[in-house]
Structure 1
Amino acid sequence: MGHGTAIKKFPSDAELENEKYLRLFRAVKSANYFITTSERQNELEFRNPILDKDSKNVYLPLGLPKNDYYFNLYKVNKVNLEARETLGVLPSDYLILYAPTFRDYSLKESPISKEVLIKINQLLSGNNAYMLYRPHKLGGTINEDLVNRLNLDRILLTKRYQLDTFSSLCVSNALITDYSSIGIEFLPLNRPIISFVFDEEEYKEKRGIEIDFNDESLSPGLVVRDSDQLIKSLSLLFKQEYDNDYWVNRRNECLNNHYTFPDGKASERIWKLILEFLEK
């Protein structure tokens, strides 16, 4: 199984031209089963003519075990309180997680400039809110040194607190992401999602994208494409504009399209598959 859901193209065309990566991908395709979250994902993950011609995979949309936790409200609430204590924030404070994915190319400049960071910090301060910044380990979109130099106390760098992905999502009232599968991981919580896709065309050209952000049945959040739109979306977030019936129902529809079994029992189904295989 993969570690997420195919939003970005995986593997990319460039990765398929790398012999080291190609050996790894072929090893994946030699497995008896490939576990996904949905029938849709069966057609996307590690799927292309180069790999499929020798594939032994039987694709099964049984779900990912790590996502089971988000369907357990008791565990989510427990981790939420523990994480807030670690962060030193109140249970009533509004927390937004910004978790961008990596890029196979260098950004000419950060999409969130010094001036925008200051505006965001002021907006957060006026709404008893914080932003948790969790970049991909291969690279991010915010200059963390700048955040430290400006002493922006409302923008928290998660690496300071050693919060893992699960804790970061459970503690967050809303999520900002882009082409990362973390947005699909967050869906069971039915909390607001903002897709900040400032470089969509470039990312589509250089990496590839497996989702149409205009498709309301698959794209679970508000789509913004520049920092002005991002700031406006944050203002609306604090006014609970994304908590109405339209957004709740839209996120539920996306959940059912991205999870064949939206029940938190992926581990149980996979364990049964293993037992059945061993009993053959």
Structure 2
Amino acid sequence: MLSIKKCNNLILKYLIKTLRPFIVPKNNFIVYHSFPDFSDNCFTFFCYVLDNHKEYKNIWLISKRDKEKYSKLLANYTTSSNYLIVEKKSFSGVYYFCKSKYVFFTHGLFNEVNLSKKQININLWHGMPLKNIGHLDNNSRVPKSDFVIATSALFQNIMSKAFLIKNENVLITGQPRNDLILTNKYSLLDLVQKKSTDFDKTVLWMPTYRKSVIGDVRKDGNLEEMNDFFEEKYLIKLNEFFLSTKSICFIKLHPMDYLDVNDFKTYTNLVFLNNASFEEKGISLYSVLQNTDLLLTDFSSIYIDYLLLNKPIGFLISDFDQYSNSRGFVFEDPKEFMPGEIITHKKELIPFLQNLLFANQDNFEEERAKTRDIFHEPKNKFSERVFNTIFK
């Protein structure tokens, strides 16, 4: 017996195939979709089009019905009201999908349906990969697209293989979300209503998931070793360090992670965040990055974006071998492209923080700049480049 989800997908597929022959896509209609809703490359590009190209009709297809949830976010990033918000799995959603000449997405949109020659599908994705993605990860659920974007020739080749798309159809434009990195409009401190004068340093810690419960449900790496960093006794010690140094650390959990902010106690100088933390304030993650002093991460693509700022990065990778053997990487030796301190055990973290943040022992500035230039050919105006390339 078919599940409700599969039944709904079959109905949508039938509806799209039925309507398509009778609907001519309009050249000035653009449809957008992302996971989570109103996020990542799609959201920034959407705002760029709204503010700079008023001749287009913009339709955002949401997965969830709560339209009001995103009103604050939209008000913070665009002054335009030239858009519609429509539920994806509805007749209106299918209608506008078929009616739009241009389709932009981060994780695919109606993947069960073949591409239409009447439309142009642009996969903005959600980061340049360090870990294997798409067909490089033997994933059969890869979204179909006419174009994919990349940040450099190196990633152009990788994205071509990951999505089985011609090299020339991978556009070296940079990622729209990185337009926000180059601004300092907001800070992580805005999420907790504190002033920058309250702290000397702000650290952002963004681990990728080892066990996911949403989307591509899977386990990668060594869950136990990574969770060792989140042991309560250690978090208390880490909080004491940040308190004693008049600093604060924000730990942003991956939206697909099985861990949740409610799994952790409340600390004074250690703050756990999820997507809802940003949604409540109407703030995009990428617009707070410039107002941080250090990024802690592991195999997340966030560090590749963070290189544009040439600020210090610490890599917490206690399970490198296990992750390499399970998920795997797009590079033979990814550590060659990780310009920062490699931290393999929690006992190394506080000394690293002490030396870097308060003794100014940054030994990777030149290496970061070199890696940045390999990873990023365009270094600004990313949304504009996407627009000018697609709508030329």
TM-score, length of structure 2 as denominator length: 0.58
Amino acid at match of 2:153: E
- Residue 65 of structure 1 aligns to a residue in which SS? coil
Q: Contact conserved, 1:12 with 1:208, CA < 8 A, in 2?
A: no
Q: Contact conserved, 1:96 with 1:130, CA < 8 A, in 2?
A: yes
Q: Contact conserved, 1:220 with 1:251, CA < 8 A, in 2?
A: yes
Q: How has the CA–CA distance of structure 1 residues 249 and 269 changed in structure 2, closer, same or farther, with 3 Å as cutoff?
A: same
- Counterparts of 1:242 and 1:182, CA distance in 2: 23
Q: Contact conserved, 1:100 with 1:140, CA < 8 A, in 2?
A: no
Q: Contact conserved, 1:197 with 1:223, CA < 8 A, in 2?
A: yes
- Residue 292 of structure 2 aligns to a residue in which SS? coil
Counterparts of 1:1-280 in structure 2, within 5 Å, are 1-11=124-134, 15-16=138-139, 18=140, 21-22=141-142, 24=143, 27-28=144-145, 31=146, 33-45=147-159, 47=161, 52=164, 55=166, 58-71=169-182, 75-76=183-184, 78-80=185-187, 83-92=188-197, 93=199, 94-103=201-210, 104-105=218-219, 107-108=223-224, 110-112=227-229, 113-139=231-257, 144-145=261-262, 147-148=264-265, 151-159=266-274, 161-162=277-278, 164-211=284-331, 212-215=333-336, 218-243=337-362, 246-262=363-379, 264-276=380-392
- Residue 249 of structure 2 aligns to a residue in which SS? strand
- Counterparts of 1:171 and 1:140, CA distance in 2: 28
Q: Contact conserved, 2:186 with 2:288, CA < 8 A, in 1?
A: no
- Which ranges in structure 2 are unaligned for 5 or more consecutive residues? 1-123, 211-217
- Counterparts of 1:140 and 1:209, CA distance in 2: 22
Deviations 1:9-45 (A, max 9, x none): 11266642x4xx14x3xx13xx1x3210011101212
Deviations 1:232-265 (A, max 9, x none): 212222224344xx43222221211110112x12
- Residue 248 of structure 2 aligns to a residue in which SS? strand
The CA RMSD measured in Å over matched residues stands at 2.5
Amino acid at match of 1:157: F
Mark the structure with the bigger radius of gyration: 2
Deviations 1:108-151 (A, max 9, x none): 3612122211111111111111110101011167x744631xx4
Q: Contact conserved, 2:136 with 2:161, CA < 8 A, in 1?
A: no
Q: Contact conserved, 1:86 with 1:161, CA < 8 A, in 2?
A: yes
Amino acid at match of 2:335: N
Aligned pair count reads 250
Amino acid at match of 1:116: Y
Q: Contact conserved, 1:127 with 1:238, CA < 8 A, in 2?
A: no
- Residue 44 of structure 1 aligns to a residue in which SS? helix
Instruction: Tell me which protein shows more strand as a share of its residues.
Output: 2
Q: How has the CA–CA distance of structure 1 residues 228 and 46 changed in structure 2, closer, same or farther, with 3 Å as cutoff?
A: farther
Q: How has the CA–CA distance of structure 1 residues 140 and 195 changed in structure 2, closer, same or farther, with 3 Å as cutoff?
A: farther
- Counterparts of 2:203 and 2:167, CA distance in 1: 42
Give the superposition deviation at 1:203.
1.0
- Residue 111 of structure 1 aligns to a residue in which SS? helix
